[in-house]
Structure 1
Amino acid sequence: MNTHRSTASPAPPTPSGRPAGAVYADRGSSHFDILLAAMVTVVVLSGIGAAKGVSFGTIPGTGFEILTDGGFFLFPLAYVLGDIVTELYGPRAARRAILTSFAVSILASICYQVIIALPPFPDEYGQAKQAALELALGPVWIVVLAGLAGFLAGQSLNSLVVSRMKRRMGERGLIGRLFTSSGLGELVDTIIFCSIAATAIGITTLEQWAEYTILGFVYKVVVQYAMIPVTSAVIRWLKRTDPTYQERLAQHVAASDA
């Protein structure tokens, strides 16, 4: 039996007449495992892809080089999923999702090193594959370390902002929560990640680091903001279809009206 209980307490109604306070669904309901699996997959694949430096050339007339990594198109999805988990299941569930992603990423990094350490076939093809694996997967542990440090700080801040704002505003202000949390979390994450992972990716100068960090932050925030209509629609649909969320919401409204 799932014993997880909402920590929400009755609060005065907001200007719209809806009661404030945070209401969350049970983690044992049908969607949490899917969201958790998606977040873990995105984080692990981002760690592999980010080991490759990517250059799209320079912006004409500026000299600004467009530098990123091979995981750039994936990682913003981790924050989108984190927003959904926090809004629907609460900060405790978000922490569990973050820690699970960390654990699987660390396990993946250890597996890569074991694979590299295993003796290859002695022929030319086997040796070539060994060299390719060492080059491709060898630095992944540094990228994973950078990703874990950045994601821990950024996603924790992201989750904190969402949960605190929801506690104050209740069901209102979803769009505002998503907008506010995205920028703060991504800024902290990007600075930490780029500072640690730069050398593993192939960035060697302060100018390259600045270009990589600025572009990474702007790109991630733009993607998250562009996804907010979709993210909010998914959250609202999950709330409507999750019976435990609807049950807790009805109890909360009844307690506030009492």
Structure 2
Amino acid sequence: MKFTHRFLIITAVFITCVITANVIAVKVISIGPLVLPAAIIIFPFSYIFGDVITEVYGYHRARQVIWLAYACNLLFVAFVWFAQIIPGADFWEGQQAYETILGVVPRMLLASFAGGIVGEFANSFVLSRMKVLTSGRWLWMRTIASTIVGQGLDTALFIIIAYYGSANFAPIMILYHWLAKTAIEALATPLTYFTVSRLKRKEKIDAYDEEVNYNPFSLTQEK
């Protein structure tokens, strides 16, 4: 399959969501009684566009995009860290603010990458397998089910790795973060339907992963 401009746009948006979510996660917001990171607004959209890629182009392409996204994310983090350790100008007073917002915390970085990668691959796998098992029917059920699994693993891994053993850790955090992310994607189901149907029509493709290799580390498409 050639890389069409539509595929490249979806890929770019997916990568943007992944990187942006990590940057804005440092801000804490309130939604009713819940206190959540600002990334809660953006990060579910990476799953939405991940669903679109898997549904239209297949697991093989989704696997490539996921690894590309986190490679770009790692490169972004490296550049941010490099800028952080370079001595600032004598008159510049923003070092503390820079480190507060963009500073690299190894434990948080590990939590973000572990949760994100495992969650995205689980989401793509579940959606792909359910598509084959349902003969492509009930997209809404497949996207929500894959999100429940993917976001559940993502959220659990992130919070456990990032906060376990600290005063900020509370298992209930996993539940309400997971529910909030899943609810956002469920509400965005019409957007998913619109994007998927339009892409399938324009691209003239509707991938079914009947012979795909699901190993996330494999570079080959078939079993």
Q: Which residue of 2 aligns with 1:168?
A: 133
Are positions 1:56 and 2:14 aligned together?
A: no
Match of 1:158 among 120, 123, 135: 123
Give the distance between the partners of 2:106 and 2:19, measured in 1 at CA: 11
Q: Relative contact order (C-alpha < 8 Å, sep 6+): which is higher?
A: 1
For 2:71, the aligned partner's letter is A
Contact 1:43–1:78 (CA<8 Å) still a contact in 2? yes
Q: How many residues align structurally?
A: 207
Q: Which structure has the bigger radius of gyration?
A: 1
SS of match in other structure, 1:178: helix
Task: Choose 179-188 or 141-150, whichever is displaced more.
Answer: 141-150
SS of match in other structure, 2:40: coil
Give the distance between the partners of 2:146 and 2:163, measured in 1 at CA: 25
Give the distance between the partners of 1:43 and 1:140, measured in 2 at CA: 17
SS of match in other structure, 1:56: strand
Q: Which residue of 2 aligns with 1:231?
A: 192
Task: Kindly report structure 1 stretches of 4+ aligned residues shifted beyond 4 Å.
Answer: none
1:182-231 deviation line (CA, Å, top 9, x unaligned): 111111111111223348xxx7333xx33432221111000111111220
Give the distance between the partners of 1:211 and 1:139, measured in 2 at CA: 26
Contact 1:162–1:178 (CA<8 Å) still a contact in 2? yes
Match of 1:119 among 72, 82, 87: 87
The CA deviation at 1:27 is: 5.1
Over 3 Å counting, the alpha-carbon distance change for 1:58 and 1:28 in structure 2 is closer
Match of 1:101 among 69, 79, 86: 69
Q: Is there any run of 5+ residues in structure 1 with no aligned partner, and where?
A: 1-25, 60-65, 250-258
Contact 1:91–1:160 (CA<8 Å) still a contact in 2? yes
Are positions 1:183 and 2:153 aligned together?
A: no
Give the distance between the partners of 1:185 and 1:159, measured in 2 at CA: 8
Give the distance between the partners of 1:92 and 1:116, measured in 2 at CA: 36
Contact 2:29–2:38 (CA<8 Å) still a contact in 1? no
SS of match in other structure, 1:105: helix
Contact 2:119–2:153 (CA<8 Å) still a contact in 1? yes
Match of 2:16 among 9, 31, 41: 41
TM-score, normalized by length of structure 1?
0.73
SS of match in other structure, 1:122: coil
The CA deviation at 1:164 is: 0.8
Contact 1:162–1:181 (CA<8 Å) still a contact in 2? yes
1:44-86 deviation line (CA, Å, top 9, x unaligned): 111111133x153984xxxxxx221121110000000000000
Contact 2:144–2:182 (CA<8 Å) still a contact in 1? no
Query: Share of identical aligned residues, percent?
Result: 28
Q: Which residue of 2 aligns with 1:146?
A: 111
Q: Which residue of 2 aligns with 1:220?
A: 181
The CA deviation at 1:147 is: 2.0
The CA deviation at 1:139 is: 3.5
Over 3 Å counting, the alpha-carbon distance change for 1:57 and 1:174 in structure 2 is closer
Over 3 Å counting, the alpha-carbon distance change for 1:95 and 1:57 in structure 2 is closer
Give the distance between the partners of 2:110 and 2:100, measured in 1 at CA: 17
Give the distance between the partners of 2:150 and 2:81, measured in 1 at CA: 30
For 2:195, the aligned partner's letter is V
Over 3 Å counting, the alpha-carbon distance change for 1:229 and 1:55 in structure 2 is closer
Give the distance between the partners of 1:195 and 1:78, measured in 2 at CA: 21
